[in-house]
Amino acid sequence: MAATARLLTSVQPDQRERFSELAAAQGLSSSRLLARLVHRALIENPEAKVKRLLEEAAAGKAPAEKYTVRLMGLDAARLESRAQARGVTASGYVAHVLRAHLRADPPMPYGEFQELKRVVNELGLRDYSVQRTVSRLQGGMVFNAGEWQAKLGDGQQLRGYYSALLVREADGVKIFEETVSVAAP
């Protein structure tokens, strides 16, 4: 049996009675319910949790935490619709959006990604990568800019810059204007 320590506390008599009734309703003794409440208070201490997560991340442990979000009605339908339009699960979509928000690095809109895939296939590019360096949101407009690099089928290296001005609409994001430049080899 694990070692325990006794915790003594004083409360008003009517509070003691109500607490005992609450414990009995859960099939517990008053002391067991109090022990559970102390345990929960220590586990859910927000400052300690943030500190622990930061320490684990700094140590390279990449901690995973599970969060539950409940959406109802129209919000749930919109989430499912947006996730399906991007070919991902609803939880994957939420995780992607949250990561982008927390890192201040919005994800590449699906239309922009599809266009990039089309160009890559059309040009026969291999080993391509895109790194967004700027992303700004102003009202319903999004401006993205960054660098890209790729190899042609014959091994020739290409690199350049891109910018895209996107318009948010009710059914998603549409490319308004896009510029891609190729730097001379």
- pLDDT at residue 21, as a whole number: 93
Asked whether 157 and 148 are in contact (CB, 8 A), the reply is no
How far apart (Å, rounded) are the C-alpha atoms in residues 144 and 109?
10
Tens-digit pLDDT profile for residues 32-74: 999 888 887 777 677 877 888 888 888 877 767 777 888 889 8
> Which listed CATH number (3.40.50.970, 3.40.1160.10, 3.40.50.300, 3.10.450.50) goes with 108-185?
3.10.450.50
- pLDDT at residue 125, as a whole number: 61
Residue 8: how many other CB atoms lie within 10 Å: 4
How far apart (Å, rounded) are the C-alpha atoms in residues 163 and 181?
9
Residue 166: how many other CB atoms lie within 10 Å: 22
- Which pTM was predicted? 0.37
Task: Say which residue, 117 or 104, is predicted with more confidence.
Answer: 117
Residue spans per domain, the chain: 13-58, 66-105, 108-185
How far apart (Å, rounded) are the C-alpha atoms in residues 158 and 145?
17
Q: Which helix (H) or strand (E) holds 20?
A: helix 13-25
